[in-house]
Structure formats: structure tokens, C-alpha cells
Structure 1
Amino acid sequence: MQVTETLSEGLKRELQIVVPATELDSRLSARLEEMKGQVQLKGFRPGKVPVAHLRRIYGKSAMAEIVQNVLNENARKTLEERGERAAMQPSFDLPEDESDAGEVLAGKKDLAYKMTYEVLPKFELGDFKGIKIERPVAEVSDEEVETELKRLARDSAEYAPKDGAAADGDRLTISYLGKLDGEPFEGGADDNAFVTIGSGRFIPGFEEQLAGAKAGEERVLNVTFPEEYGAKQLAGKAATFDVVVKEVSAPAETTIDDEWAKKFGIESLDELKATMRQQLESQLGSATRTKVKRQLLDQLDEKHAFELPPTMVEQEFQNVWNQVTQDLQRSGRSFADEDTTEEAAKADYRKIAERRVRLGLVLSEIGEQNSIQVTDEEVQRALVDRIRQFPGQEKQVYDFYRENPDALASLRAPIFEEKVVDYVLGLAEITDKTVSREDLMKDDEEEAKA
């Protein structure tokens, strides 16, 4: 094999590689010898098919397989010899002339091709050991636990039909038809909907206008969709709903005690409270982790500036951009609705893609230099968690990950990232700051994007 570098520009590399026809023919002969004892052809006893006959029948298909193996082997070997790491899988520019390709497959001509790739940049890690983090911490109060208990009691309440007018907390069974300018709109009808007055689950004004309604009563509700409503065609629009009340039900009185707690498989009210407190603490802990990680990544990003592989950035940008455009399409919104233009949005999201690639490389380098690894057991646990998300399709999901190394790597990557983050946080100077639950759970637009 002869390798000649034809381009070395920044992170881009291009190599001209020539594999002698003699090497290809030697590999083909060895492959045909293997096939000799495997194939069964009419008129020949097993293992007695002449190699020359096999070459006529299977020569080109076997050589095509050999060429693919040679490309992969040479890429791996060449990168090792050059001491380089490719950012993405190298691409190969093979002979396009049909006659040339035919001669290569026939083992009569050298295989000459170009291999192009981008190398991972070499850079010095910044001093991440001096990072300072302000960790926001919120405590779960007894009042919050009591509020959650009452919410659980309300949501799990049993309802029974009642005579008379609907009051706060009552559940109505209704049919409704929504209209814009007197015309029904798509998705604005339901023949058997439940509405609990005071739950706040319908658009503003809907539940309130049903207060005092009785079974069999018809009402026309006048409402205005919120400006930020998901469906663009409805956002900010005034609408009417023709409603027929089918039934009014009142919640049964709930006594929050040990017996009630047993409905949820818990032995006592105190245990239920403890469980709820743990759940609330877990929510707050996740929010704290998110904000701490954001601070850490921001500081790591500030400490590093180096050339990024263009293909990696472009691929990450396309992933982000596809998600953005799909979200806009689903919500029926446009870039104008977001007070921006497509060009400006692309520039913003390209910066996000660059940040992601840069931080990914930094975290990878920190992990490699400090021998941080993800165990097979950790990946297996992640796979089990993923499989549980698809009840009834467990085998298909398992087979998909087993047969797709890239998919399995997608489970490994976030585990690796969190372990590196934990490592760096272990070296950082962290100061706790007590904040309210509202401040901790609040996300600004910039933080949500990151």
C-alpha cells in the first residue's frame, strides 16, 4: 500500500492511497479457497468446485467485499501510523470510470482512491481545577408536602353524580364545539370531556363560565386563547364554545389518614408524606444539578478556544436545526412569531452547535486524561431503562440496540458526560446558596436553550 498526503489544511486531510492489484488478487484467492468448502453448485461434489469456476461466478462480488474491508483496514492503519484521530468516519473517493472499476474488481488493476477526513484538534486543557460554583439549594417545607397531599387527594377523588348547580371542585361531563367567527375549527370538539372547575386545565375563562351549570343545561362560553398558545391559528384569538352539560358530579369527601394512604400501597400517612418529601427533594435536586452543570459548562466553554472540525459542527447544527423546524411546524408558528428571521435563527443555533461540539471535545479530553470510563454494567442499566419505556416492544428495542453500535454509543455518551462533570465538580470550589423553590425552578430562555 502506498500513501501520499495531498492535502493538510487546518483539520482537513486528504490522502491518495494505492493498493496493488497483486494484494487484492491474493486476498481474493484466499477468499475463494474459503468458499470452496462452503458453496454447493450443481454438478460438483462439496469441496470439489474448481477455484477458477468460483472466480468466474463469485469473483466480482467477493472482490467488492474485499475492497470494502481494505478501505476500512487501511483507514484504521493509516490513522494509527500518522498518530491522528478522525473526527468522523473518513470518506472514500473510488474510481468512477466503469471500465477502471471493472478491472479493479477483476483483480487486474491497482485500487487507487482518495481518503478524506478531519482530525480531532489537539488543544491544552484550561485550568478547570480553579472553577468556582454557586450551588442554589432549596428546602422542601412541610407546607409543600401538605399541598402535594391535598393535590393527590383531589386528583384521586371519587366522584358521584349530584343534583343542583356545579360548584368549585365539581367535575362536569360535557360535550363542546369550538368556533372562530362562528365557524367550527379543527380539534375544537369533544363529545365526552371531563372538566373540573378550579383545576385550571382548560384555557382561561372556560371552567369559570361553567360554575352554576346543571345537568342538561346548554351554555355558550366566550373565551380568548392565550397569546402563547401552541396552535398558531388559535393563539390570541377570541372563540366561542357551544357546551352541553351531561352530568355534574361532586367529589366524595376524602379523609387524609392511614387508611387513605393504603390506597397507594403505602402502610401509613407518615410513610406517604416521607415518600412525597423524597419526590419533591428529587425534583429540587435535579433543578440544582441542572443549574450547577450549566455554570460548570459555561466556565469550561470560556476557558477553551480552538478550531472545530467543520463536519462535526455541521452535523450537530443539522440535528439542532431539524428539531427547531419540526417544533415550529408542529406548533404552527414561524420565525416571525418568535421575533426573529430564519437567517438570524440559523446564526444563533450554529453558535449553539459550536458550543456543544467544543464542550463535547473538552469533556472527552478531560475524561481521557483522567481515565474516566463507562462500564458495561452502566450501559446495560441504561439499556434496561430505555427498554422499559417501550412496553410490549422490549425485544424489538433490545435487538435494535444490540445490532446498532451507534445507538448503543448514544446510551454510553450521556453516562460518560455525567461522570466527567462529577469529576470536575469534585475539584471545583462550591458554595451553597439557599434560594426559594420558585427561583430554583425558574428557567430563563437562555438557560432552556443551553
Structure 2
Amino acid sequence: MKLVSVETPEKSVCKMTFSATAEELEAASNAVYERTRASYTIKGFAKGEADRAQIEADRGEHTFWYDAINDLMDRDVPALYEAAMAEHGFKAVDEPSYDLVSVKKDEGFVATATTPLQPELNLTQTTGFHVECVTPAVTDKEIDAVLERRRNAAAELVPHKGPAVKGNIVHIDYEGLLDGKPFQGGSAQNQPLQLGSGRMIPGFEDGILGHKGGEEFEINVTFPVRYHVKDLAGKPVVFKIKLIDVCVRQLPALNSDFAKKVGKVDTMEAFREQVRKQLHDGKHASALNRAKDQVLTQLASAAEGELPSVLVESTYQQEMQNIQQQLQMQRMSLDRYLSQIHQTRENFTANVHAAAEKNTRARMALLQVAQNEGLVPTDEEITKNLQERADRTKKTLEEVKANANIPAMQRSEAIRRAADWVIEHSTIEEK
């Protein structure tokens, strides 16, 4: 492969074009074929018996191209890329993004690498920023809520002799029978169960209601039609039940005994003060973090100049991906979330993009501050960090280095140090 050209289509963006000849593509494709031929099953041939021409006739002439292109790019491009970056004095601030421009059997292929470069920002101010840290007051209602949660966590199970009702916690032995025979997963010993929780299949918990501790009885239920175990789905079964005991959750009184047991203090007044301080400390930590973010926002506003668009776009895409992942964890779609916050998709994405631009500007300003103030970690410091990582993971330093993105590590640590430096040289007024 060879480097065809190095361009700067916009300020702080480098675009390199690479090409491989038809002969290089053919040799790499044949190597991929030799490596993977045993995995192909072609009609009329035993697995791994078809030759390359037969595989390509069945799957297409491009079958081995893309793995071959990746092999050539992985082998040749890093050295060509690094040499060109050094020759032009470019400083990358993110990994290059690769695009395949064209690929033809008789011409080879052409690919590009687009890299955001460090912008030259005019930092009109780097110290002396002033923000307020406002810590909200802790209310009695918030203290009461914490105490109630801890009270519920300290509740004890107390057996009672009455019949089981919803809300009771019971302990049971049970055995399920399908057509008179036990089935896999259908039995348990001393199983705790809160009646009304819906943990068991429909009818199971209801069948325990009204029975007392020590009783043995049977429950006739039917598994749901869409039950995950196909052999049981829609089938009627019998559960033999032994009700060991019926318990109620007994909440402790909010008195000195509770304070001593849960709060490790002598009185409820002291316990309330302990909770108040914990809540205050948490609110203050959040307020302080917001204040620090405001300092960096002011730094971003004081950083004038054009940012590489590909870096802003990369940050925006990462932010959107993070939002989507958070929504997926909550089993919520983006459209449903937008309807809840009464925003259109256009307004929402515009706001996320604006935030991505601000965050990118702050990071680039901090990187420049780090360079100006001598805060960029040295090679020795990075090596020490990697050695510590190697010691933790029981690997060699060489193994860790092989999988580490050292330039990215240096940038990340430089930005972190610069953030601390800017905040230390600013004023956060407590309110």
C-alpha cells in the first residue's frame, strides 16, 4: 500500500488517502481464502472442500475482499499514517476514522483516514473564574424518608398463627407434579415467598391464602400458554405444598433502641442529625461538582477559535449513544422519553449537539492549558501507570502496552490535570 495524498479539507482536520494495487488486493484475498476456506459450506461440496472460484461463484467475487482490505490496512497504514503525521507536524486529538472510497478487482482499492487535529484556540482567560456553589438545605421530610427506608430495612419477620393473607411472607416446601410425575425445576425447600408479589405462576400464591403454618395441601394450577419452558407451557400441574410458617414484617419503633442498633448513636435526635449531615454532604458534593463544571464552561466560553467538525460530531454521536443506552436500561424508547419531556427530536438533538460542541471546546482548551503549563504527563509517567496496570492484571508491561492507546492516555491525563489546575486558580464561593 502507499500514501497517495495528505490534505486539510478544513482547519484542524487532516485527510489522508491510501491505495493498494490490484495485485496487493488479490494476494491478500487469497490469503483470506486460505485462512477461512474450511468454514465455507457450498451446495454440492462437503464443508471446506470448495475451492476459491467455487466459493466466489456462489457468494460473489467480493467474498474475500473486505477481510483482505482490513488485513492490508492493519498491516501497512499505521506506519504510513504515523510518518505523515510526523512529517507535517500534525497533532491528533482523536483516532482517525476510515472510509473505503472504491474497490475494484482490476484496480485495487482506495481508502481515506480523517483525523481531527488540535485546534489553535485563543484563550482569552484561563484563571480567575468565579462561580457560586449553592448547597440546598436538608428538609425534615427528606430526613423522615431516609429513616423510614432504614426502618423498613431493619424490619423483622415474626411468625403468627393466623391464616395467610396478601402481604404475608411464608416459607414453603413444594413439589410440582405433571401427569403425576415430578418435573425439573418444580420443587424447592424452605422457599421464602411474599404473597401477592406475583413471583410465582398465576394461581400459586392465591392457593396459599387462608392456610396456616404447619398445614400441608395441594394446589391445582395451569402454566401460562407463553411460559418460557415449552414442555410446561399451557399444562395443568399439581403442587404439593407444606406451609412451614406464616410471617408478618414487624417494623421497629423509632426510638433510642433503633438509633443504637441502626445508627450506632444513643438517641433519635443524634440519629436525625447524623442523617441530616449525610444528606447535606451528598448535596454539597453534587453542588461542588456542578460549580466545577461551571468553571470549565466559563473556560470554554473564553476559548475562541474553530473546532474540527469531525471531533464535535464524534462527541455528539457518543453522547447520543450514551443517552440511548441509558434509556434502554430503563426499557424506554427515545420517542417515549421525548414525549415525557415535551421536546421534539429536532430540538433535543440540537441541544445535545450544542452540549457536545461546548464539551469539545472545553476539552481542547484544557489540552492547550496543559501544554502551556507543563501539565502533560511524561513518557516515564505513562510507563509507570502502565506498569501498575500490568502488576494489577498480572501481565507483562509489553502486553499492556500492546493494547494501550498511549497518545489517548496522555491527552486524557493532561486534560484531567488541566481541569484541576484551572479550578484551583478560580474562586468557588460557598452559598
Q: Normalized against structure 1, the TM-score is what?
A: 0.50
| Larger CA deviation: 138-147 vs 67-76 | 138-147
| 2:367 matches 1:364 | yes
Aligned to 1:98: 105
Kept after mapping to 2: 8 A contact 1:157/1:254: no
Q: CA deviation at 1:11?
A: 3.0
Deviates more, 1:288-297 or 1:65-74: 65-74
Q: 1:353 aligns with which of 346, 353, 356?
A: 356
CA contact (8 A) 2:169 2:247 kept: yes
Letter in 2 for 1:11: S
* C-alpha distance in 2 between matches for 1:377 and 1:16: 33
> C-alpha displacement at 1:427, in angstroms?
1.0
In structure 1, the partner of 2:14 is: 13
Q: Is the 8 A contact 2:386 2:400 kept in 1?
A: no
The answer to whether the Cα contact below 8 Å between 2:151 and 2:252 also exists between their aligned partners in 1 is no
Displacement of 1:159 in angstroms is 3.6
Aligned sequence identity (%): 20
- Letter matched to residue 312 of structure 2: V
Q: Is the 8 A contact 1:157 1:251 kept in 2?
A: yes
Q: Quick one: structure 1 residues 284 and 117, their matched pair in 2 at CA, closer, same or farther if it must change by over 3 Å?
A: closer
Q: Once the 2 structures are TM-superposed, how far is the Cα of residue 256 of structure 1 from its aligned partner?
A: 3.5
Alpha carbons of 1:249 and 1:117: their partners in 2 closer, same or farther (altered >3 Å)? closer
Assess, with a 3 A threshold, how the Cα gap between structure 1 residues 420 and 338 changes in structure 2: closer, same or farther.
Answer: same
For residues 210-229 of structure 1, give each alpha carbon's deviation from its aligned partner in whole angstroms, at most 9, with x where no partner exists. xxxxx859xxxxxxxxxxxx
Q: Which residue of 2 aligns with 1:192?
A: 194
Q: Is 2:332 the partner of 1:331?
A: yes
SS at match of 2:90: coil
Go from structure 1 to structure 2 and tell me whether the alpha carbon gap of 1:94 and 1:419 turns closer, same or farther (over 3 Å shift).
same
Partner SS state of residue 128, structure 1: coil
**In the alignment, which of 157, 164, 168 is matched to residue 173 of structure 1?**
168
Q: CA deviation at 1:349?
A: 1.4
Q: In the TM superposition, what is the alpha-carbon distance from 1:115 to its structure 2 partner?
A: 5.0
**CA separation of 1:275 and 1:4: change in aligned 2, threshold 3 A:** same
| 1:172 partner SS | coil
TM-score by length of 2: 0.52
Q: What code does the residue aligned with 1:303 have?
A: A
Correspondence 1:72 to 2:49:
no
Q: 1:429 maps to what in 2?
A: 427
Matched, 1:292 2:299: no
Aligned match of 2:155: 157
| Superposed displacement of residue 309, structure 1 | 1.8
Inter-CA distance 378–131: structure 2 relative to 1 (3 Å threshold): farther
1:431 is paired with a residue of what secondary structure?
strand
CA distance, structure 2, for counterparts of residue 381 and residue 135 of structure 1: 39
Instruction: Measure, in 2, the Cα distance between the counterparts of 1:192 and 1:143.
Output: 29
Q: Which amino acid aligns with 2:11?
A: G
Distance in 2 between the 1:308 and 1:342 partners?
25
Does the residue aligned with 1:420 lie in a helix, a strand or coil? Answer: helix
Q: Distance in 1 between matches of 2:94 and 2:408?
A: 14
Alignment CA distance shift 1:294-1:77 (3 Å): same
Long gaps (5+) in structure 1 = 25-60, 103-111, 165-170, 176-190, 196-214, 218-245, 388-393, 434-450
Which amino acid in 1 is paired with 2:359? Answer: R
CA separation of 1:192 and 1:97: change in aligned 2, threshold 3 A: same
Supply the distance in 2 between the matched residues of 1:309 and 1:172 (Cα, whole angstroms): 60
| 1:250 aligned partner, one-letter code | Q
Spell out the pairing of 1:44-443 with structure 2 (5 A cutoff).
Answer: 68-90=74-96, 91=98, 96-101=103-108, 116-137=114-135, 152-161=150-159, 172-173=167-168, 192=194, 248-253=248-253, 256=256, 260-261=260-261, 279-280=278-279, 282-328=281-327, 330-331=331-332, 333-372=336-375, 404-405=403-404, 413=412, 417-433=415-431
SS state at 2:250 partner: strand
CA contact (8 A) 1:153 1:256 kept: no
SS, match of residue 304 in structure 2: coil
Distance in 2 between the 1:314 and 1:249 partners?
A: 54
Counterpart of 1:96, as a letter, is V
Q: Deviations over 1:266-319 (max 9, x none)?
A: 7x659x969867744541342132221232122122212322222222222222
The answer to whether the 8 Å contact 1:3/1:17 transfers is yes
Which secondary structure state, in structure 2, belongs to the residue aligned with residue 96 of structure 1?
strand
User: Is this contact kept in 1: 2:157–2:247, CA < 8 A?
Assistant: no
